[in-house]
A and B are shown apart, each in its own frame.
Chain A
């Protein structure tokens, strides 16, 4: 079956530091890959996505590249802000899953001024 493994948190950074949150997956076929973010008291929001190998998803300064050879989809941001403090979830959707997602365990990010 499908599975997603994220680096364990929590991750604590100072403002303007570089962020990497690792995500690797196991899936059959050609899944789509996602990063979701959950701010305190809010629902999960789609941050970025990639639907095929070598695609790069990007949004709000965050980037992630779909690497089929390493089955990875690591999230990066060059300079984090306090407002980026949230929980980040890596997820995949199999080709025939029609909206069903398999999630990683989530990584708590805290950014200090």
Chain B
């Protein structure tokens, strides 16, 4: 079946550094991907919609300059947490829409395994 893979699965960084998380669709083209953030014991919160070849659409309250999203190819979206601080520590999850003929959504949505970021 379709697989979405995230890398790295966990990362520890120092405060003030930037961290990049990759989300790849392994056997299908994903023109649209979503980035979620999950705090402990809380639900997944949608951060942004990533569209191949265009700017990401951010949800209200999400700093676009803080969380840079690039969707440069049909199989890869990246989330870069810039100048990370301890409050950015979280579990980041991506999902990808599978499209079929004519680029129409098949209704299938696949999730990556998540990336845990810890900022010291």
Partner-B contacts on A (CB < 8 A): 4, 6, 36, 41-46, 89, 98-106
Contact = CB atoms under 8 A, between A and B. Distances in A.
Given A89-B44, A98-B105, A101-B109, A43 B34 contact: no
Contacts of B45: 103
Per DSSP, chain B at the interface is strand
A99 B43 contact: no
11 contacts: A36-B111, A43-B93, A43-B111, A43-B114, A89-B43, A89-B44, A99-B109, A101-B44, A102-B46, A103-B36, A105-B43
Contact of B110 (A43, A89, A101, A104): A43
B54 interface: no
Interface residues of B, number: 24
Nearest to B59: A100
A53 to B, nearest CB: 19
Given A44-B93, A105-B41, A106-B38, 4 more contacts: A43-B6, A44-B111, A99-B32, A106-B41
